[in-house]
Structure 1
Amino acid sequence: MIPSKEALLKAQKTVQPYTHKTPVLTSTLINELIGAEVFFKCENFQKMGAFKMRGAVNKILSLSPEERAKGVVTHSSGNFGQAVALSAKLLGVSAYIVMPENAPQVKKNAVRAYGGIVTECESTIAAREQETHRIQKETGATFMHPSNDMEVILGNSTSASELLEKHSDLDVIFAPVGGGGLVAGTALAAHYFGTNCQTVGGEPLAVDDAYRSLLSGKIETNETTNTIADGLRTYLGDQNFPIIQQLVSKIIRVEEQEIVQAMQLIWERLKIIIEPSSAVAFAALLKSEEEFKGKKVGVIFSGGNIDVKNLPF
């Protein structure tokens, strides 16, 4: 059962006062290179530097006053942690953030700067969940899942909704796939506000659980988290997977080197900072450019939170 168009419109109204309407950029050179008209929705210019602000705000505002008084807790490698910390700060709510010890230092620092209470743990999903449960038990805080929560997914949908407000005739929108919250939200927006607009996911080959999940019909996991796209090291959930199954046309897998090349091309040509996870969607377009020649293509840049002392090029 997918959410209604009304639910998407409500989310747009809810998040608008707390988020930026991010710019849409184009590049003549990139259009010529691909042979398509490409429109980049730049969530790297969102508050806290990523689309996740949208989902975090929408979720916190869906809670009762009693729930908000006890605070919120989440686990995150960085961007969702920053989004929850900043959203909670704006809304006067305590935020507890569990972060894997190998998360980029720049992201840990940012969470703390936004007033988030950080607990570090081993870099496994099991360790993250264990710490989160402990904090929930001790504080009564409401758990916020970074991607497998309908209010978060609806908040995320507002990025593609804004893109389609500007360019209603897009043939396809590319979004990166990690936990599935952004690609599911994008697919909902394309379904309701586009005209025969496809949604295509880009996923690192090293963590291709979503690609395999669509093939097998059940949620798959990864043996490894060995990708430069640190925001995409997690897997799908039961809230977003049915939306992805129904509304995402395909998932294109990309190699690590292809991610780095896509990222470098954007830095050089658009003169903007995107993180590796953001570059995955564009890398997927570059890899499949023959298929989309002559089309109008949207690409969601999910964020720009990068450790500039640790660049891959």
Structure 2
Amino acid sequence: MTLKAARAGRDDAGKIQQQGIDPAQRRQLEKLERKADTDASFEAVAREYHKTKSSAWSPRYAERWISIMEKDAFPWLGSLPLSSITAPMLLQVLRRVEARGAHETAHTLRQWSGQVFRHGIATGRCTSNPAPDLQGALMPIQVKHMAAVLEPVKAGELMRAIGAYAGQPATRAALHLSARLFQRPGNIRQMRWANVDLEKAMWTIPAADMKRTKSAKINGRPHLVPLPAQAVEILEDLKPLTGHGQYVFPCLLTGERPMSDNTVNTALRRMGFDNTEMTAHGFRAMARTIMVEQMDVEPEVIEAQLAHGESGPLGAAYDRAEFVVKRRKMMQLWADHLDELRQGAKILALKAA
């Protein structure tokens, strides 16, 4: 410290003492103010919110939340007091994300930034939330629909191609069950023998394996998938090949893991269906569309089997015995209809039993 600076400090201390303020208390107060500013920064509040909420989130969602903040928000907003951030400042950050073509991420960041500001308001670090003001300021998201075969004639071609597939038997079986059971691709490939009852023709998917909130994964009901006769036969034929392990469709390299999440899609490409025609997820849309438009099946029965709306008003009814009976009839009707389409039978509007 120079002599001039020391004298200036002495003079400031003298002025503070004349005002009746202890210089030591003043330094402590300034230190507390600096800490308060740090604790009220965007990054500090965001990390506090993440720490508070992440225990109720899935690990994947929690990791993505903080990762996007660290990549796209903290470098520009992190050190700023939450109360100083305006809508134009937040928009400038979101525009950076849009500029690299990540439009969906920009919308997500706006929404999650709003969560940070709401937490800041609740904890006294700011008084307003600029995020809602930017709702119409971002470019709209282009919704991408999963490619799916939706025409009955084309579905017949697909089933014939699956029947003629010359790849691994387990992959062919996964294709057959994807079509007949129309469950989520992740559930199909992670199917465990322990959850399949061939005598009762029922596949029980644990709540923890379903696409649900963390709370529903822990406390929710399992998802029941009645197996049509064709599915039971496929599984009985497959059991000598993979029944010694836990997975119905194990990875070829190690039976300790399920098959790759791209196996079914790769098989579809080899069969001549490109990614604009059909995907592993497309079997779900195929089943829903054809059953509603061609077979007049009750939509709520289809939605129950798709595991849609299990937490909604009909959720408690989905596992009632009589509803499962309806679902079992529908599953057999669908499997039979796929066989008819595969054989090139005349397409008729059928009534569900």
By the TM > 0.5 criterion, same fold?
no
TM-score (norm 2): 0.22
Structure with greater proportional strand content: 1
TM-score (norm 1): 0.24
Q: Which structure exhibits the higher relative contact order, with contacts defined as CA atoms closer than 8 Å and separated by 6 or more residues?
A: 1
Structure with greater proportional helix content: 2
